[in-house]
Structures are given as structure tokens and as C-alpha cells.
Chains A and B, each alone.
Chain A
Amino acid sequence: MPVRHGLLTLLSRGPRHGYQLRVEFEASTGATWPLNIGQVYTTLSRLERDGLVKPGESDEQGRVVYTITAAGREEMVRWFSTPVIHSDRPRDELVIKLAMAVAAKKVDVAEVIHKQRTATMRALQQLTRAKRAATEGAAQRLVLDSMIFQAEAEQRWLDHCEAVLKEER
């Protein structure tokens, strides 16, 4: 669970309250993963239940400050030392759409590819603009880079589909 481990990592830098965690989480992911404050508190109470964080006193504004526990630090280390496996990632609508377009025979596949390629390029242009405007440091830019690489992979795959289908005809 990336939110859970993200919060643990932020807490490893020192005690923080929920609102602070939310702000820091969003800043370091370039606001690409918005969190609502309810999500933050739900996650914190689960972390507390599992003994990974513990609540301290409230500050002058009544906000509870959380501290990471030794078990929490161990869990964070385990997270960073385990690679992410994408085996159960959700199926991609575009892949299914193209496969169906090819199977259906009556659909103009080239047209589906053209439309998608232009749309994906627009998305890529937007991401690139966001990256140029990014001011919150390397973490934010790298998150945007990740989306840029993904959009680029989709674009390449579309080119590949076009070339292969052209040969088939």
C-alpha cells in the first residue's frame, strides 16, 4: 500500500501531524496523488493498530502528532528493499479496445490508432509542460517523468501496432 508506506517514510524524518503529512505527501509526489485528510487519518489509525506508529500529545491547536515506532522503521526498510511486481495490474482499456478493433474486422483500426496517438501526444505535451513548470524539486519531477515514460511507451506501442497491421494487410 503506497499511501501507508509513504506516510511511514515521511514520519521517519520526524514526528508530524495528519495535515502536515498530507501536504508533504502531495508535494513530494507532485500532486499526482491527491490525498484527502480523511484518508490520512484512516491510514494513521491502521498504522497505529499495527503498532507501526504511535500518537503523542495534541499540539496547541488540538492536532495529534504521530511518531514512527521501531516496528514502523523495519516495515519501511522492508518496503524499500522489496521490488514492485506488476502482475496483478488492472487491465488496460486501450489494449482491449485495439484487440477488439482488429478482431471485429469492420472497425477502421488505423483510425482508432491515429485518434489515440494524437490524444496520447496531447497528454504527453501536458505532462511536459507540467514538468517544465515543476518547482518542488526532484521528487516531483521524477513522478512526472514516470508518467512521461508511460505515455511514451503507449505511443511507441501504437506505432508498432500500425506498422504490424500495415504488413498484415
Chain B
Amino acid sequence: MTFVRLAEVARVHGEGATAVHALKGVSLEVDVGELVAVMGPSGSGKSTLLNLAGGLDRPTSGTVHIGEQDLATMRDLAALRRRSVGFVFQDLNLITSLTAAENVMLPRELDGLRSSLARKEAMAVLAEIDAEYLADRFPDELSGGQRQRVAIARALVGERRLLLADEPTGALDTRTGDEILQTLRARSDAGAAVLLVTHEPRYAAWADRVVFLRDGMITDTTDTSLVSAP
């Protein structure tokens, strides 16, 4: 079952002579329970693609659906994002004056959830990624990998069924990077649709499907049958 669907999506930044065609007619679907990785060099349009898929940005042409909803017809995109979409970015932007658990609770409290309930949900999601023991630490008491896992917990909290991760392994060492991927993988195995942007082959390889983006176009994916030379 498809959860996100981009159909012939184009995005032009700016106008006239300085216009940048960041995406040129990209079609991509991510199913429930599927982990799809988008690979490409810097400037190929990966972040633009992810932002469009999560409703942070609107396409110049083409359509984006999340679930049954056409994002172009949605009045309150922010509410949909909060309820259904979790974002993980490279710069983690955890709030330094809040503990890990409080950071994870925050989006749910913004949704109007009672504090005690938000805390319960936060602890559950921290437990799910084996990070319960970090709950009461402040961001500057965490390693880079631990901070990133808390950021992922925050993106996961509250049954969000679409997870969008933009270079979530950043400058982490490969063992910590593997842990991040382990977490994303577990989440998709549990039924979330996950779209991961990375330029690192070793992390893309955790995906069910890898899509190669070049100059705003998909040039190849690993699911098309390919007759390789002997």
C-alpha cells in the first residue's frame, strides 16, 4: 500500500535567468513498511525532494499525496505534518534547556496532549530504540550518536507513519551510523514509510529500494530488473 506518492514533480527555485531547476519531473512512491533511500551528489535535489514529500515545500508542478490526501488541496499542512510526518535533519536542533525526554515530548505537547501522557509516549518511543537511559540527560550530556537517536525518537513519537530523514548520519562514525540505520529500519519494519536521503552507499544499502538522483532526475533504481554483463 502506497503511503507517499510524488507524481511528475518539478520544483524551480527562483525565476528567469537565475532559475534553478532543482527537480525535473520526479515520480516516486513509498509504501507502508518500506524504507527507500535516495542517493545523489550534493546539489542533485535530494533535500528538495524530501521537503516536498513532507509538505514543507510545494512543487512548481506535479502532485504529492500523503495517504489519500493531495497536499495541494490541504488547508492545514502544518497539522498534517505534526500528526503524520516525522523529520530528522542533519543538524539536530534539540533544545538545549530541555532533557532528552522533554525534547521528545515537545511535539506531542504542541499537539495539545497532556504532559503526563506526552511523557508516557516519549518514554515508550525512547524504550523502543533502547535509549530510555538517556531520558533525563540534557543534549550537551549526550554524544553525537545519542543526540541523533533522541532526535529520531522525537520524529517518531505519536504514531507518525511517515519518517523523512535528511543525511541523518551526518558526521557520525560508521558504527554509530549503523545504529541510526538500525533504528530507521526497525521503524519501517514496524509499518512506517521511511524516506532516507544519504550520499553514503553503506547507509543506502539498508533500504528496500535505492533511487539514484542526478541533476533533479531519477536516473536509476535498484528495483528495475537489470541484465548485467557476465
Contact = CB atoms under 8 A, between A and B. Distances in A.
Given A125-B222, A128-B202, A152-B201, 15 more contacts: A114-B212, A115-B229, A117-B212, A118-B226, A119-B228, A120-B201, A121-B204, A122-B222, A122-B226, A124-B204, A125-B210, A149-B202, A151-B201, A152-B202, A163-B41
Interface in B173-230: 185, 200-202, 204-207, 210, 212, 219-222, 224, 226, 228-229
State the main secondary structure of chain A at its contact with B.
helix
6 contacts: A115-B228, A117-B220, A118-B222, A121-B204, A128-B205, A132-B185
B205 A148 contact: yes
Interface in A103-157: 114-115, 117-122, 124-125, 127-128, 132, 148-149, 151-152, 155-156
A156 B205 CA distance: 13
Interface of A: 114-115, 117-122, 124-125, 127-128, 132, 148-149, 151-152, 155-156, 159, 163
Q: Which 7 A-B pairs have the closest CB atoms?
A: A124-B205, A155-B201, A128-B205, A152-B201, A152-B202, A125-B205, A119-B228
Interface residues of B, number: 20
Interface of B: 39, 41, 185, 200-202, 204-207, 210, 212, 219-222, 224, 226, 228-229
Contacts of B206: 125, 128
A149 B201 CA distance: 9
A151 B96 CA distance: 39
Contact of A159 (B41, B185, B222, B224): B41
Contact of A118 (B200, B205, B212): B212
A72 to B, nearest CB: 34
Contacts of B204: 121, 124
A140 to B, nearest CB: 15
B6 to A, nearest CB: 21
Contacts of B229: 115
A156 B201 CA distance: 8
Contact of B222 (A121, A127, A151, A163): A121
Contacts of B205: 121, 124-125, 127-128, 148, 151
A118 B220 contact: yes
B210 A121 contact: yes
A139 to B, nearest CB: 16
A163 to B, nearest CB: 7
A114 B222 CA distance: 11
Nearest to B229: A115
B230 to A, nearest CB: 11
A21 to B, nearest CB: 31
A148 B220 contact: no
Contacts of A120: 201
Given A124-B201, A159-B41, A114 B185 contact: no
A141 to B, nearest CB: 10
Nearest to B206: A128
Given A152-B202, A156-B201, A125 B220 contact: no
